[in-house]
Amino acid sequence: MLLALDIGNLHTVLGLFSDGILKAVWRIRTQHDFTADELAIKIKSLCELHNYKFQEINHIAISCVVPPVLNALILLSKLYFHTKPFIISPGIKTGLSLHYDNPKELGADRIANAVAAYEKYHCSLIIIDFGTAITFEYISGKGEYKGGIIVPGIQIAAEALFFRASKLPKIEMFIKPPQVINRNTIEAMNAGLIYGYAALTEGLIQRIKQEISERPMVIATGGFAPLIATEVRGIDKIEEYLILEGLRILYEKNNPRTELV
């Protein structure tokens, strides 16, 4: 089985693949100082909780935007899965033509999303990942990664309001109000964040479309996609676990002789 790990700044998403099919998805908090043993305990517990065998994991694929965590992940792969992990890094085979000033600056998560979406749809695409940061990617119909946009995410914005505006409370849970105009502070903040980011997303989609000659398909992904994307006009599909599929595809492209079971 293949274990795909998407290590983000706030959360780590784990996907378990068998025969190329995503069987299970788990989300845990990213700890910048966790050890290989601690992570192994968490993975083993999740596997046992959902009736999967920890010892049957024999392939590891990693997307990581938190460099301090990589050493623990490499050691985890060696000690517990007896394999060298595949890590998205500069120079790997993607199947895309990267039209970026410095491809080394391109985040692993952005590459995985682009690869998965183009592999599935084979058309011009705008991919929006609602994560810690919100990223927009434009892929041409010829499979050319043309660039994108990076925006602070909804959770960053909420924390900024709490830390920078002394009278505003901390939002513990994002709940979509039934209307835009609200009569209490928490709902007013939720409306501003959710509907505000929906409007921002709509505006950027339109600006991207004005700069290109194609009519792209628009895909939303990431942990906050179900919350925000449903309020955005112009989004065609929500693919919540696109990055995990991208990790599987990239693993297979770069390890063509490996049989994933």
Catalytic hit among 19, 33, 37, 109? 109
| Residue 207 marked ligand-binding | no
Confidence bin at 9 (pLDDT 50/70/90): confident
Spatial CA neighbour of 208 closest among 131, 147, 154, 152: 147
pLDDT digits (tens, 9 = 90+) for 142-158: 999 999 999 999 999 99
Please indicate, yes or no, whether the overall pTM of this predicted structure exceeds 0.75: yes
Cα–Cα dist 41/20, whole Å: 25
pLDDT digits (tens, 9 = 90+) for 14-57: 999 999 999 999 999 998 888 999 999 999 999 999 999 999 99
Distance between terminal CA atoms of the chain? 5
DSSP, res 166: T
| Residue 201 marked ligand-binding | no
What's the confidence (pLDDT) of residue 237? 96
pLDDT digits (tens, 9 = 90+) for 158-189: 999 999 998 899 998 999 999 999 999 999 99
Question: Which domains, from first to last, does the chain contain?
Answer: 2-87 (3.30.420.40), 97-245 (3.30.420.40)
| Residue 8 marked ligand-binding | yes
253 burial (CB, 10 Å; 0-12 / 13-18 / 19+) is middle
Confidence bin at 10 (pLDDT 50/70/90): confident
Given a cut of 70, is residue 260 above it in pLDDT? no
| Residue 50 marked ligand-binding | no
| Residue 59 marked ligand-binding | no
What's the confidence (pLDDT) of residue 258? 60
Average pLDDT over the chain, rounded to an integer: 94
Confidence bin at 3 (pLDDT 50/70/90): very high
CA distance to 48, 77, 190, per residue, from 22 (Å): 17, 20, 33
Three-class SS string for 23-64? EEEEEEECCCCCCHHHHHHHHHHHHHHCCCCHHHCCEEEEEE
236 is catalytic: no
Q: What does DSSP say about strands 59-64 and 2-7: parallel, antiparallel, or unpaired?
A: parallel
| Residue 147 marked ligand-binding | no
Confidence bin at 90 (pLDDT 50/70/90): confident
Confidence bin at 139 (pLDDT 50/70/90): very high
Mean pLDDT of 240-261: 85
Strand order of the β-sheet with 21-29 is 21-29, 11-18, 2-7, 59-64, 86-87
